[in-house]
Structure 1
Amino acid sequence: MASIKAGEPFYQRMAIVLTAIVIAGFGSAQLTGTAFGSLANPLILAHGTVFLGWYVLLIVQPRLIAGGNWALHKRLGMISLAFAALIVALGYWITREAYARPEFSIAGMDGAGSTIFPVTDIINFVIIYALAFWNRKNAQAHKRLMLLAGLMMLDPAAARLVLSFGGPPPVIMALHLALYAAFFVHDWKMQKRPHWATVTAFSLFVLAMIAKFTIAGGPWWANVTARLFG
């Protein structure tokens, strides 16, 4: 197998970190009874399986590139389209199911306000994944964007991990910021400036956070939620 190219270890290690957070987050939530949905629910189980499969792909793909196995990398890349579509579809239906439950609440918000968390996650995932797919021939952008797409969908796992162990909600934000910081540090080491892919993803993350704590509790978002999930 060919030696790992300069910079590739970061992507492999970050993929492992993201996958570990997903496994630890959903696993700890099930064990401690703080999960937002049981694995006994077929929809939750299907979503969890597809979700984990996506992160496993994130681990495998950089290794294939490092080993020079471009053909398999490209084939799995096309399979990732199916994973992405399933993540979006299942994410929508899980959010719709949660919205129908009177007790549904995230960050102390009512059901309508709470939907902004998964909705912004899904929107940002679609944007970053689409950019990654469009930039398949731009290696530096593509590999960043694929990992950043995974980071865009990390919020449910990160929240479960922190809350399962009694951590305060600000720790969830701190975890996300630490992961984005790792990308910026890597960019600086590799090219002495932030890469546009990292800046784009982080900007979307910031915009989503602003939306979550400004429009989520208002009548406009309640109307949007009713149209989407009512």
Structure 2
Amino acid sequence: MACLMVATILSGFSLNFILGRSSLSSPLIVHAHGVVMLTWLGFYLTQNSLIFAGNVALHRRVGWFAAAWVPVVVVMGLLVMRHSLQTRGGPPFFDQNEFLISNPLQIFGFATLTAWAISVRRNTSWHRRLMFCGMAVLCGPGFGRLLPMPLLIPYAWYASIFLPLALFVGAGMIADKRRYGRVHPAWLCGIALSVGLQIVADLIAYSPLGYSLTEWFVAGTPGADRPMAAFMTP
């Protein structure tokens, strides 16, 4: 499943490159974000491979480097979101206010799940499942690039966030049910956190505060030239 999630993310971004939606001429902040995320994917694959091979000692040592990388993932995610909103108005198939509020909260959701997993690392049944849920949250951008997002307006954001959870975490839940006869509560906690954060995000984004905050955030930038609501590009 670790390989499948990483392959999904890489496939989504590779497809964008092949179709010409992105290029190597992107600003430095975009490349820096890409390097940070590729490093995290490398950590996740390495950690799963070490456990699969039974090398617990090295897994623990590498884990502390991975833990220190989580804040870098969060900061770069926020910076590239700001760049996207202010220079291009954000993805046109997302409402700007939803993108501004929901994206940071889901990034913090990933960080929360990962920190929680680290805090209960001695309880391996919780640790590995919470890490899995955190990684599933990060699959949204890659997964979304494989979907016909403009055709999913006004539900494009929810598709990019919740379809990876449904497919990947759902597979974990089914595997638990078949193997142990019950679903581990860590899966439900991961889903509940992501859904709960999205509910909070929507309550803020579609309130007068959310609209005002979005207008302030993009004011005086090219991002203010597009409609706040999602729209179909020509």
Normalised by the size of structure 1, how large is the TM-score? 0.80
Unaligned runs of 5+ in 1: 1-13
Q: Which residue of the partner structure matches residue 3 of structure 1?
A: none
1:23 aligns with 2:5: no
Q: State the 1:91 CA deviation.
A: 0.8
Partner of residue 183 from structure 1, selected from 172, 188, 203: 172
Change (3 A) 1:93 1:190: same
Distance 1:198 1:226 in 2: 37
- Alpha-carbon contact 2:137-2:164 (below 8 Å) kept: no
Question: RMSD over aligned Cα, in angstroms?
Answer: 2.7
Classify 1:138/1:105 alpha carbon distance in 2 versus 1 (closer, same or farther; 3 Å).
same
1:221 to 187, 210, 218: 210
Q: What SS does the aligned partner of 2:146 have?
A: helix
Which stretches of structure 1, 4 residues or longer, exceed 6 Å deviation after superposition? Answer: 226-230
Match of 2:113 in 1: 128
Q: What is the rounded CA distance, in whole Å, between the counterparts of 1:193 and 1:47 in structure 2?
A: 39
Question: Equivalences for 1:72-221 in 2 at 5 Å?
Answer: 72-101=58-87, 103-105=89-91, 107-110=93-96, 112-163=97-148, 168=152, 169=156, 172=160, 173-211=162-200, 213-221=202-210
Task: Provide the rounded CA distance (Å) in 2 between the counterparts of 1:32 and 1:47.
Answer: 20
> Offset at 1:187?
2.0
- Rounded to whole Å, the distance in 2 between the matches of 1:194 and 1:59 is 24
Summarize the Cα distance change of 1:102–1:62 in structure 2 as closer, same or farther, 3 Å threshold: closer
2:223 is aligned to: none
Structure of greater relative contact order (alpha carbons < 8 Å, 6+ residues apart): 2
Q: Deviations over 1:35-94 (max 9, x none)?
A: 5x8663221112112212212222221221232212211111001122211100101111
CA 158–138 in structure 1, closer or farther in 2 if over 3 Å, else same = same
* CA deviation string 1:175-217 (max 9, x = no partner): 4312221021122123322212111111122224434555423
> Paired residue for 1:32?
19
Equivalent AA in structure 1 for residue 33 of structure 2: H
- Indicate how the Cα distance of structure 1 residues 210 and 139 shifts in structure 2: closer, same or farther if over 3 A, else same: same
- Do the aligned partners of 1:120 and 1:208 also contact (CA within 8 Å) in 2? yes
Tell me the amino acid that sits aligned with residue 157 of structure 1.
Answer: G
Give the whole-Å Cα distance in 2 for the aligned partners of 1:195 and 1:114.
Answer: 31
Q: Secondary structure at the match of 1:63?
A: helix
Q: What is the alpha-carbon distance in structure 2 between the residues aligned to residue 83 and residue 159 of structure 1?
A: 24
Equivalenced residues, count: 214
Q: 1:22 touches 1:52 (CA, 8 Å); kept in 2?
A: no
Contact kept, 8 Å, 1:18 with 1:151, in 2: the verdict is yes
The question of whether the paired residues in 1 share the 8 Å contact of 2:117 and 2:130 is answered with: yes
